[in-house]
Amino acid sequence: MARANAAYYATHDPFADFTTAPEISQVFGELIGAWATIVWEQMGRPASLALIEAGPGRGTLMQDARRATARIAPQFHAAARVHFIENSARLRREQAMRVPDAAWHAALDTVPTGPAIVVANEFLDALPIRQFEYDGGAWCERYVEDGAFELLPAERPVRAPRHSEAGSVVEVAEAGCAWVTRLAKRLARHGGAALILDYGPGEFSSGDSLQALRDGRPADPLCEAGSADLTAHVPFMELAETVRAAGARAWGPLPQGIFLTRLGLWQRVGMLARANPLNAEAINEAAHRLAAPSRMGYLFKAFVITPVSAAAPPGFEAV
């Protein structure tokens, strides 16, 4: 999965196959900018900090966030230095057109230490997973051989429902948890917060969530590796355990629709619609796509990591 996605992002335009929240509405990035500003104030307004985005796509989210903070919070705007975690040279070129003063990194570990605010929108779902299948007598791990799954005896214990049927599948987000562990330890030591926005269940679950998009349509994940975007659901409860084990605090997950509404989604949408009456219908439709429970509002979640002693982050005060 890791090799296939690396090849895909190096050679394809992912936005020909799918659309992420920042591309749907400018309000998404603006609200993230406002969220980061409040977190910075809760941190004591440090004179400098790293504003990090993992998997920044075309740079649209950060472009919208920076435009908003320049207007509403010039001191935060001046204090924050943008760092992008991105491996695709093609995407780096696109990001540079929108956020030319950013610094680029291949991994979180090379971002300078110090207080940081981290944003990861639809980043963890693209990291590789491990899958285990119950064959009726024991749990086996799925491997890929010649474009098909092959089952081999599992070399690690599997957290699974007590009564599993043959063919049941359990996923382990090993790479995602390792990344979150490094992030949580950094925040616990140097201060700051991380906002993760992605899709997946809000409770422990099982089942096969591996999926692929090719040419904008669902495809076989094992067919033509590197020609499709591969993703899997993010296990937020597993991430929360990982964060606590790393010495930090986990907030959420909270449905994206509730999170954005608490940040002022509909107030901002109303302002834009009144200022652009000819586009009011499209502006409102985009907001409903982001927040409606039947669309992105429930499956997508907001999840925050902070030091243990930090105040409740914006949007989570009532949780």
Give me the residue spans of the domains in the chain: 2-127+173-307, 130-172
CA neighbor of 115 nearest in space, from 49, 60, 161:
49
Q: Convert the pLDDT of each residue in 179-201 to its tens digit.
A: 999 999 999 999 999 999 999 99
Residue 172 pLDDT greater than 80, yes or no: yes
pTM of the model: 0.95
Q: What is the pLDDT of residues 143-168, one digit of tens each?
A: 999 889 999 999 888 888 888 899 99
Residue 100 has pLDDT above 80, yes or no: yes
Write down the CATH superfamily of domain 2-127+173-307. Vaccinia Virus protein VP39 (3.40.50.150)
- How do residues 221-241 score in pLDDT, each as one tens digit? 999 999 999 999 999 999 999
pLDDT digit string (tens) for 5-15? 999 988 888 88
